[in-house]
Structure 1
């Protein structure tokens, strides 16, 4: 049975944030377009033989009315804040939701009770790294105000999703004049070092998108921890994915930097719906080349367990009650197969996430 588990990747949203005006990806009838709160996560993990000691919350790609914020060159500070707050309405409402959970001042529909916020060991919140530095600085201040000091103290990183965009779009976004400087501003220059969670889809958006991310990370000094999500989303439905050698090359390139970490998460969603394996053995048959290379490249001390709950319920074979525990079993079976030491196993389940995010207390 696994030791202490720190689930490094889960998503939550209240019942008030289940429309396409809250999350553009929540189309009518979508399985995920209903409340997923701490109570729901607890119900899912309770069915497994072991429960997590806590989790890291990761932002949920909230709705934006446009790709970026349009401002006149002469806009004053008040106008910048007013327009920013309107443009980022949904992401800022996400912060208000997190504040309620952390502070225990929950509302009906939040799916949480007083005290549940103690399970939130870290918060990875949305950040518009692509906007002008002046606007980005305003966002950081407004975000801190919306979260309040107790929840702001739980912020361990930021994410701006690069998946769902073409490789050319990814190159354009991360290559603009503000992106790298904003990453450094958010993650290096505060009172504590924070992480940048990297969400990139090497399968659907092209391996070139992952190669562009590798170049981005190499262009940032080691003052930032980069946490790669979901094995960078290779195509797991095809045993001989033609871009596997280029995926390996990128992973090897990224792992050479000691400030880069990899999450074992999201794999259940990378199989085609008609090809989703139904057993631990069949999942491992596909995953083994990827897991072997990740372990070889990063080592156990830079590999993080994450469930990607509740998104893992979309592609997993065991449904809402069983998928969280199923993924735990997959990961546990793999470590047994590799005969990792007890200390290394402790790192994968919890200590690597604590190190990547600067989390001091697991209980």
Structure 2
């Protein structure tokens, strides 16, 4: 594996301030440790110590006000290079909304859109006509679309990618495989089918919290990491920390070190090149097909 020429790009992390907005998904005793504020000031020392030179900040809630806040944060930050925001894809004016976001302070940092598809009861939500219209608007805006889904929703992701070949789809957290149980199929066959679409990319992220959070090891993660690395290839895989959700199971440095061990070194593509091509090439309004 070749090493990164510069620093690492962390392609997936979050921040939140509970005094600004509740994170209503942080409920129950298992998530209690992250029911507090997490800011860029909290992240920066750990990220810099791990060799991270830039990050992509990803939406957390389906609230329209969050994306402008994240864009403004990126404009003030020397760490956040890109923002994956949220907008309602089902609205008929989604194209105008995306254009308006680009005009806001920090709007040039908007690189993608995401929706919590994992919470949609319809396993084929991505294939609804109104959603398909919204996905087309995302593509027309030169943005990418992040997929946060559960394994049973992967077939719809594959169909959406086939129906929208001009749009780059980024699979977050490997599609949340059942690492804690050790099961591979049907997730493995489904993620391989998605990878057959050339306009798809996968994030090597979120694994430690899908595993048994108290007992995970690199070896328990390896079958899942190997599956996506083999299916997508390094040029279509990118590292993401999923901080601060990842702190439920590991420190920031432990997440980075586990990814390095799984990949077999700080591969230029996985740890920087893929994120640069897929996300950061769009900063300022440019676009790049994957």
2-structure distance, mates of 1:2, 1:269: 27
Task: Give the match's secondary structure for 2:123.
Answer: helix
**When the two structures are aligned, how many residues end up with a matched partner?**
278
2-structure distance, mates of 1:200, 1:264: 14
Task: Give TM-score, length-normalised by structure 1.
Answer: 0.70
Q: Does 1:55 align with 2:58?
A: no
Q: How does 1:54-133 map to 2 (within 5 A)?
A: 54-62=54-62, 90-92=63-65, 94-104=66-76, 117-129=77-89, 131-133=90-92
Q: Select which of 262, 267, 272 maps to 2:207.
A: 267
Q: Select which of 232, 238, 246 maps to 1:304.
A: 238
Provide, for residues 44-95 of structure 1, a one-character-per-residue CA deviation record: whole Å limited to 9, x for no partner: 335x4x3210100110124xxxxxxxxxxxxxxxxxxxxxxxxxxx431x23
Residue 190 of structure 2 aligns with which residue? 250
Q: Does 1:350 align with 2:272?
A: yes
1-structure distance, mates of 2:227, 2:128: 32
1-structure distance, mates of 2:123, 2:88: 14
Q: How does 1:191-270 map to 2 (within 5 A)?
A: 193-202=142-151, 207=152, 209-220=153-164, 222-239=165-182, 241=183, 244-270=184-210
1:258 Cα deviation from its structure 2 partner = 1.7
Q: Is the 8 A contact 2:146 2:172 kept in 1?
A: yes
Q: Looking at CA atoms only, which structure, 1 or 2, has the larger radius of gyration?
A: 1
Q: Which has the higher contact order (CA 8 A, sep 6+)?
A: 2
Q: Is the 8 A contact 1:14 1:97 kept in 2?
A: no
Residue 113 of structure 2 aligns with which residue? 158
Q: Is the 8 A contact 1:56 1:123 kept in 2?
A: yes
Task: Give the match's secondary structure for 2:203.
Answer: strand
Cα RMSD, aligned residues only:
2.4
Show structure 1 runs of 4+ deviating over 6 A. Answer: none
2-structure distance, mates of 1:102, 1:291: 30
Gaps of 5+ in 1: 63-89, 105-116, 278-282, 317-322
Q: Is the 8 A contact 1:6 1:350 kept in 2?
A: yes
1-structure distance, mates of 2:28, 2:221: 32
Q: Is the 8 A contact 2:154 2:191 kept in 1?
A: no
